[in-house]
Amino acid sequence: MPGRAQAAAALAALLLAAGGCGGSDEEAASTGGTARPQGEAQPRAFPAGEWQGRLAQRGLPPFQMRASIRSRRDPGRNTVAYTGIDCRGNWRYLGRRGPDFRFREVIDRGRGGDCKGVGTVTLRYIGPDRLRYEFRGGGVASSGFIRPAPGPGSSA
């Protein structure tokens, strides 16, 4: 009965292979119904909230920033402040380009030197609670990492 043993082995191999392919219903639901190749990052949500971090720019000592991102449509609700250079302004959401969230920054107030300028801020998730920040505009480039800012009453 070698035919029956071979058929049983083939069926067992098929069941093992089928069990190892694809994901659970829960996994499919969490990825929008399609399985992602291993190692491919999940798309990230719009980075609404309070963010802060330390940035570097050539010719300046490192400085802190804090941004409040509240709207895709109203730049007045997206504010940014840079301490150390004491400038403030707003971000207008431009959209996504791959994994990047892009904003048009307009700096128009503050006491620090030349607090006027326009450029593009690009944010990219590099972890669940960490964004890579890059600014380019007016011959200036700055970069760094930002994290969610502690809320009121937080001990962080």
Residue 145 has pLDDT above 50, yes or no: yes
Residue type at 110? G
Most confident of 40-44, 60-64, 111-115, 152-156: 60-64
Instruction: Tell me what the mean pLDDT of segment 132-148 comes to.
Output: 96
Sorted by where each begins, the domain ranges of the chain are 1-38, 49-148
Mean pLDDT of 2-12: 47
| Rounded Cα–Cα distance for residues 20 and 32 (Å) | 20
Q: What's the confidence (pLDDT) of residue 152? A: 65
- pTM across the whole model: 0.70
Q: Residue 42 above 70 pLDDT?
A: no
Please state the length of the chain: 156
Q: Give the helix ranges, DSSP H, for the chain.
A: 2-20, 25-30
Backbone angles phi, psi at 83, to 5 degrees: -85, 160
Average pLDDT, the chain: 78
pLDDT band at 19 (very low <50, low <70, confident <90, very high): very low
Tell me, what's the pLDDT at 44? 82
Mean pLDDT of the 17-26 span: 35
Let me know: does 52 contact 130? Beta carbons within 8 Å: no
Q: What is the pLDDT of residue 20?
A: 37
How many helices (H) and strands (E) would you count in the chain? 2, 8
Instruction: Kindly tell me if the per-residue pLDDT of 16 is higher than 70.
Output: no
Across the strands, what pairs with 50? 68
CATH homologous superfamily of 49-148: T3SS negative regulator GrlR (2.40.128.380)
